[in-house]
Structure 1
C-alpha cells in the first residue's frame, strides 16, 4: 500500500520534468521545421526588426506580432542580410510570401507588401521557405509565450 503514493509521486515528477517551462524561449514551427525565434511585439521592436545584423543562423527567425490584422508591408532599410518574409493571418495561416528579399543599399528602399491582410510576419534567412517547401495556407505554430502585444 505504501508503494502506491511513491509511484504516484514518481509519475507526477517525471511529467513535470518533460513539461515546457512557462517562460521557455519562444520557437515557431512551419512546414515540419522548428526555428528559434525573437519576438517583435511592440512598435519599437517591430520598427527595428533585424536591422544592422550581419547574419541570421539557419534555424533562427524573427516573429512580428501585431495587435490587429491588416495589409502589411516591410522594407529592408539598414537590413544587411537577405530574408524571406512570410505573412500570416489571425489564424496563423500563410497568406503571402516575399522570398529572397535583398538588403537595401539605396534610399529610398522598396517595400514588400503582403497580398492579403496579416497579423503575424515571420522573417527567415533567404532561401529557407523554398528549401523547406513552404506553401500558401501552411499553419504557423508558436511555442512559448508571445507576451502582450503593443
Structure 2
C-alpha cells in the first residue's frame, strides 16, 4: 500500500499589517501601475494591490476605471506613512481630467490598495509596521 502526501504551497506575494495577511498583485512596471485595479469587479478582504516604486517619490493616485471604492495606504519603507479612506469609484462618464487626485503627505516608495473600510476594521494606524513578502 502506498501513501501520498501533498503539500499546498501558496507562492502568491503577501503583505501583512496588524496580523492581517493580504494576498497581493504586485505592480512595478509603468503599465501595471497605471492600470492598477481598473476594470476589476471587486476586491476580497484578503486581497490587495501593491505598487512598488524604484525610489521614494511624490505620487498622485486616481480612480480611473475603478468599479468599487478602496482604502489606500501610503508606505515608506516598511511603515504606514499615511492613508486615504474610502476613495470613491468615479461614475462611468467621468472624464480623466475631472478625476480627483490623491497625494501622500511625503514621498513614498510603496502604495497598497485594499477593500474600502478595512483601515478602520483592522485598526490600521500611521506608523504601523508593514511586512512585505514578494519572493
**Over residues 91-141 of structure 1, what are the superposed CA-to-partner deviations in whole Å (9 max), with x where a residue is unaligned?**
221111011001012222101111111100000000011100000011111
Quick check: which has more Rg, 1 or 2?
1
Q: Kindly indicate which of the two structures has a greater share of residues assigned to helix.
A: 1
Q: Which of 95, 108, 123 matches 2:113?
A: 123
Q: Distance in 2 between matches of 1:96 and 1:73?
A: 14
- Residue in 1 aligned with 2:82? 96
**Over residues 26-52 of structure 1, what are the superposed CA-to-partner deviations in whole Å (9 max), with x where a residue is unaligned?**
011011110111000111100100001
Q: Distance in 2 between matches of 1:47 and 1:75?
A: 9
Q: 2:23 matched to 1:64?
A: no
Q: Any unmatched runs of 5+ in structure 2?
A: 1-6
Number of residue pairs aligned between Structure 1 and Structure 2: 124
Q: What is the RMSD computed on CA atoms of the aligned residues?
A: 1.4
Q: Which of 40, 43, 50 matches 1:53?
A: 40
Report the alpha carbon displacement of residue 82 of structure 1 after superposing the two structures with TM.
0.3
- Residue in 2 aligned with 1:136? 126
**Over residues 46-98 of structure 1, what are the superposed CA-to-partner deviations in whole Å (9 max), with x where a residue is unaligned?**
01000011111111000000011011120001111100010011x22111101
Q: Distance in 2 between matches of 1:132 and 1:66?
A: 25
Q: Distance in 1 between matches of 2:12 and 2:125?
A: 26
Q: Distance in 2 between matches of 1:136 and 1:73?
A: 19
**Given the two structures, how large is their TM-score scaled by the length of structure 1?**
0.78
Q: Distance in 2 between matches of 1:74 and 1:95?
A: 15
Q: Which of 89, 111, 118 matches 2:101?
A: 111
List 4+ stretches of structure 1 deviating above 6 A.
Answer: none
